[in-house]
Structure 1
Amino acid sequence: MTGDPLTADPPRNGGTGRADDSVALRMSLDDPERFGEIFDAYFPEIHGYAARRLGPDAASDIASQTFLEAFRGRRRYDPSRAGVRTWLYGIATNVIGKHRRSEVRGLRARARLEPVRDTAGHADRVDARVSAEGLRGRLAGAIAGLPAGDRDVLLLVALADLSHKEVAAALDIPYGTVGSRLSRARRKVREALGGTNPMHEMEKDHG
């Protein structure tokens, strides 16, 4: 992978990003049942990510395919490059990438829905709005208009709370590319939402 190495994931909700994930994954090479520990720890989170991107109807298939590909490719996992959680998000994003047209159609359909919140003064930081409001209303329409790579980076930051280094590892892209894609995505979304104010400290880096 390209970018700075990651030796472990930070702690996440429900104790995910565990230090022993890479051990369980390595042990699963000889004892496939150990992979169940990875599945149990991360399936709900990956399912939720898929649901927020493609909707609940597709989420189970996306999450199942993600873990099937992870199981089949577990021998290629390199713990010096990324934590298991980050690696799984990379696989999930690649699986979602096979459904680009469906995602864009779904976002455009959700653009016609009223946003959960669309009040003045709500967090100007784009990824905070995505996380808090969900992909609907004008926000969904703006995200539908992003190039696929920019959308992936923005949504991994906003929905998965990955750092710049983690996104670089998950997508196998240079660290600097993450920053440029994220900056471009935030700018385009802000413009599509009416040019809500700019950055200041609220546009702080995740990296």
Structure 2
Amino acid sequence: MSENKKSNENNELENNKVFESTFGNLLNNDELKNDNAVVHQPKEPLEEVLISEEQPPVSTPEQMEQAAQNYIPESIGDEKWEEFLSRAPLPPMSKADEKRAIHIGFSEIARIKQYMLHSFRHMDNEFNRLYAIYPLALSKDFQEKYNDVHKDMVAIIEDLENLVDGKIDSVEAVQKDFRLHQTFEERRLSILYGLIEYYNNKK
């Protein structure tokens, strides 16, 4: 027998002796052998526990209304929620009508921007021409106020352009609160329908 094999057998015998001396008493203890393991028995079967935790069935209109309260977002008031549920949605617009309405909307917005700038310049020129006190005391203040208001109006018009074009996510109010997306979708459709109706009746 080789030396390695003898060495392995000696190591195995030594390990068995250590194991026996450590755990032998536990393995040979008759009391422990006869002792039954304690298993927890629930008082109620699992099926009964699960059934008892389920919500009671909803059967009456009052119960349905009460259950629905949990699904109404806190940010929406009851009146607005009821109004939203009760109104009939606008029908989808045909591609041709939508394209025409967008074209009309952008044309009108461009004219509004031009007229807004033209009207202030005209007013400013007329005041300078007619009233000596205007360039002496008012012109500078008027120009500063107009610039501030003009910036706000440009932002509003850009929002309207995005709305008409269907870029709802670019509307400032929607960027601040994404929950308004559906509201602005409906508003856009209403505006487009209004433009088509106005120009159809104008003929």
Shorter-chain TM-score category? under 0.3
TM-score by length of 2: 0.26
Higher relative contact order (CA 8 A, sep 6+): 1
